[in-house]
Structure 1
Amino acid sequence: MNFERSRPALCAPAQLRTGDVLLLRHRNELARLYAWLGDSDYDHITLVGRAGCLIELGADGVSEPALAERLADPDLSAAEVRRPQAGGEAAQDTDRIAVLAHALSLRKPVHAGDPLRALGVLAALRERDWPARPSLRRVLHEALRRVAEADAQAMTASEFVYRCLAENPVHGRGGPGWRLPPVPARSLPCPELDEAALWARVEPWLPASRRCDWATASAEAPIGEAGFAVALAQARARLGLIATGAGLLAAGPRVANPKWLRLRELELSPSLPALGALLAN
């Protein structure tokens, strides 16, 4: 099966409808690490909401930012639109209303997921080619610890979007459209990252006792293999992964456990065919 997609043609914001999905790619270091860990061409996913707004999950919970403001973000390099299908057919108005209603029902603060936890979830799901650079290992170690310490109900953006589409009363039919295909691992090397810039993005989400500037963090003793393995095991236990992280995702067509969902699976889902690109670079 060919999992790669060709680039879609450009489309206009006026073509978007409530319940459409946006795949976003940003230029910052944390976004690049998200994409690499998740085997994806994108680092964030969100839904089209109502009245020119998006509806998405962030560090403060579910919010409704303006689409125009998001597209004007100089950090944004690509935005692709996907139009959900149910049972092989385009979503109807009742489907779209149900998606929006379910999204709004998930506004409880307990669901909020911060950027460091999102990084830790991706790290917990990965089983191969860990970066050897000690400073990057330190960032991933902190991200894994964040998963282990966070509320078990906290979500990633991928989990939020999947739940909005697949768990509402209209879409949640249990049909084959939401059985996600196994996604083969990509062999892309870890990108070269400005680790000081990366640390600056994650440091605000560390517990107060572990916050420090990059010079201090990079001067600390490297994280040993045993310490990293403990953090990895604790994060996987918190997510309900039995033993082997991403290996559980590749066993065959499946109904997704939202806690284990990577953006790559939504990116390649036949239930989310491409409509077009709002922004491409």
Structure 2
Amino acid sequence: MKPYIDTTELQAGDILLMRGRSSLSDLIAWFGDSVYSHAAVMCSDTHFVEAAMPRSRMVALDERLRQTDAYHFIEVFRPTADDGNPLDEVQRERLARAASQQVGVDYPVDMLVQLAAVAVVRDRIPEDGCLRWLLRELVDHLICFDPEHMVCSELVYQAMRQAELAPTIVVAARLDQPFPDVDVRELVREWLEARGAGSMGQGQALMPEPVNEEELVGAYHRLRQERRFVAGGFSPHPVPDPNPATILPVDLSTSPQVRRLGRLRLLAEGMNG
């Protein structure tokens, strides 16, 4: 695999996973236990769709490659069919249409707080892979998916699901990324700026439907009856019906239906040889 790939090799449907340079990006990567802080999906061979504030948009890839002050790197992943074969032209076109239909969706700034708490409890605290799988199943029942408000990886997964190409999501091994050295003042500034820019700027948060203790215990017992747990060691556990609202960049990067192609060369890197 080449360390860098040319932009001419990209296709509609390819997934872009990025690492931003801001303090907020560092925190997003940490709570998602990943090196990535942002996700997008190509809707053609030159443009991609991403969730952004105040709402999702279509962006020219060349424009993003010039934003070296905002991104450390951009990597390309290519989805495949269930059998591991490349997507055909019809499937890529279907995915491109689904991605384009996500343009204009509001970005729920306050949802990031809820997603961060969910991710830390679900993916970082438990040592056992089976327990992380169980927590994910329970959390997916508690969080509401609202297609009118989506963050970045949620939007990518939803486009793939609408195109009937949703990748298998697994509970992968922990990376155990160290907590980032965050500039708190800068983080607060970014957060306040983001809240003011979005449609959720008045402090209205998307909250999950209330679930009482009896429902939670019932969900746990149903899962115990329906699933068998693998004892000893770690192996990836497929998530049978993932909730798009809890999809993170790491879920896209570790899916068995997604292949890493390589890293795009930012334009500043190209100018430096």
Per the alignment, residue 80 of structure 2 pairs with 85
Q: Distance in 2 between matches of 1:261 and 1:193?
A: 24
- Superposed, 1:15-54 pairs within 5 Å as 15-50=9-44, 52-54=46-48
SS in 2 for 1:269: coil
Name the counterpart of 2:94: 98
Does structure 1 residue 191 correspond to structure 2 residue 202?
Answer: no
Q: Which residue of 2 aligns with 1:272?
A: 258
The alignment covers a number of residue pairs equal to: 223
1:252–1:66 distance in 2 versus 1, CA, 3 Å: same
Letter in 2 for 1:253: P
Structure 2 distance, partners of 1:279, 1:243, is: 47
Rounded to whole Å, the distance in 2 between the matches of 1:209 and 1:10 is: 43
Q: Cα distance, 1:179 vs. partner?
A: 2.4
Q: Is the alpha carbon distance of 1:37 and 1:14 closer, same or farther for their aligned partners in structure 2, counting shifts above 3 Å? A: same
Whether the aligned pair in 1 keeps the contact of 2:23 and 2:187 (CA below 8 Å) is yes
SS in 1 for 2:51: strand
Q: Is the 8 Å Cα contact of residues 62 and 104 (structure 1) preserved in structure 2?
A: no
Give the superposition deviation at 1:235. Answer: 4.7
Secondary structure of the equivalent of 2:11? coil
Q: Which moved more, 1:56-65 or 1:40-49?
A: 56-65
**1:55/1:62 contact within 8 Å kept:** yes
Tell me the distance in 2 between the aligned counterparts of 1:67 and 1:25. 15
Alignment of 1:210-229 (within 5 A): none
Who is 2:133 aligned against?
Answer: none
Distance 1:238 1:69, change over 3 A: farther
Deviates more, 1:47-56 or 1:156-165: 47-56
Aligned to 2:156: 161
Distance 1:238 1:21 in 2: 34
RMSD of the TM alignment (CA)? 3.5
CA distance in 2, matches of 1:68, 1:238: 44
Cα shift readout 1:32-90 (whole Å, capped 9, x = no counterpart): 00000000110001012236211122223331111111011121111111111012111
SS in 2 for 1:77: strand
Residues 167, 208 of structure 1: alpha-carbon distance in 2 compared, 3 angstrom cutoff: closer
- Partner amino acid, structure 2, of 1:59: M
Partner Cα separation in structure 1 for residue 106 and residue 261 of structure 2:
29
Structure 2 unaligned segments of length 5 or more: list them: 126-142, 224-234
Q: What is the alpha-carbon distance in structure 1 between the residues aligned to residue 209 and residue 173 of structure 2?
A: 24
- For the residues of structure 2 that align with 1:238 and 1:57, how far apart are their CA atoms? 27
- Amino acid of the residue matched to residue 83 of structure 1? R
> Does structure 1 conserve the Cα–Cα contact (< 8 Å) formed by 2:153 and 2:249?
yes
> Of residues 236, 253, 259 in structure 1, which corresponds to 2:238?
253
- Indicate conservation of the 8 Å contact 1:124/1:235, yes or no: no
Q: Which amino acid aligns with 1:156?
A: V
For residues 8 and 120 of structure 1, what CA distance do their matches in structure 2 show? 38
Contact persistence 1:31–1:43 (CA under 8 A): yes
Instruction: Name the counterpart of 1:200.
Output: 189
CA contact (8 A) 2:56 2:107 kept: no
1:208 to partner: Cα distance: 6.8
1:76 corresponds, among 71, 75, 90, to 71
Q: Find the partner of 1:60 among 54, 59, 65.
A: 54
User: What fraction of aligned residue pairs are identical, expressed as a percent?
Assistant: 24
* CA drift at 1:209: 7.4
Secondary structure at the aligned position of 2:120 is classed as coil
| Code of the aligned partner of 2:239 | R
Q: Show CA shifts across 1:217-275 (max 9, x none).
A: xxxxxxxxxxxxxx9xx955579xx869xx99x99312321112121111111211011
TM-score, with length taken from structure 1: 0.68
SS class of match (1:45): strand
